[in-house]
Amino acid sequence: MNPDLLVDNPRPTVAAPALRTKAELRAALEPARRRGLAIGLVPTMGYLHEGHLSLIRAARAGCDLVVMSLFVNPTQFGLGEDLDRYPRDEERDLRLAAEAGADLVFAPPVSEVYAPDASTAVEVTGPLTSVLDGDPARRGPEHFRGVTTVVAKLFNLVGPDVAYFGQKDAQQAVVIRRMVRDLDFPVRIEVLPTVREDDGLAMSSRNAYLEPADRERATALSRALAAAEREAHNGSLAAGLDAARRELAAAAIEPEYLEARDAETLEPVAELADRPVLVAVAARVGAARLIDNVLIQSAAQRPHT
Ligand code: AMP
Q: What is the pLDDT of residue 164?
A: 99
Who contacts 162 (Cβ-Cβ below 8 Å, separation ≥6)? Answer: 38, 39, 40, 41, 59, 62, 63, 187, 188, 189, 190
If one residue of 75, 162, 169 were mutated to test the ligand 1 pocket, choosing by the most ligand atoms within 8 A of its CB, it would be 169
Q: What is the pLDDT of residue 2?
A: 40
Cα–Cα dist 141/148, whole Å: 11
Between helix 90-100 and helix 50-62 the angle, nearest 10°, is: 40
Does residue 143 line the site of ligand 1, with CB under 6 A?
no
Does residue 56 line the site of ligand 1, with CB under 6 A?
no
Using the mean position of ligand 1's atoms as its centre, give its distance from the Cα of residue 171 in Å.
12
Q: Which ligand 1 atom sits nearest the alpha carbon of residue 164?
A: 10
If one residue of 165, 174, 292 were mutated to test the ligand 1 pocket, choosing by the most ligand atoms within 8 A of its CB, it would be 165
Cα–Cα dist 41/153, whole Å: 12
The letter for the amino acid at 180 is V
Does residue 191 line the site of ligand 1, with CB under 6 A?
no
Cα–Cα dist 98/14, whole Å: 6
Q: What is the pLDDT of residue 4?
A: 45
Residue ranges of alpha helices (H) inside the chain are 3-8, 22-34, 50-62, 90-100, 110-113, 127-130, 141-158, 170-183, 212-217, 219-234, 237-250
Protein residue whose Cα sits closest to atom 10 of ligand 1: 165
Using the mean position of ligand 1's atoms as its centre, give its distance from the Cα of residue 241 in Å.
25
The letter for the amino acid at 250 is A
If one residue of 41, 42, 52 were mutated to test the ligand 1 pocket, choosing by the most ligand atoms within 8 A of its CB, it would be 52
Using the mean position of ligand 1's atoms as its centre, give its distance from the Cα of residue 193 in Å.
10
Mean pLDDT by groups of 10 residues along the chain of 305 residues: 48 82 98 98 98 98 98 97 97 98 98 98 98 97 98 98 98 98 98 98 98 98 98 97 98 98 98 96 98 89 64
233: annotated active-site residue:
no
Q: What is the pLDDT of residue 5?
A: 41
Protein residue whose Cα sits closest to atom 17 of ligand 1: 51
Q: What is the pLDDT of residue 17?
A: 84
Tens-place pLDDT, residues 58-93: 999 999 999 999 999 999 999 999 999 999 999 999
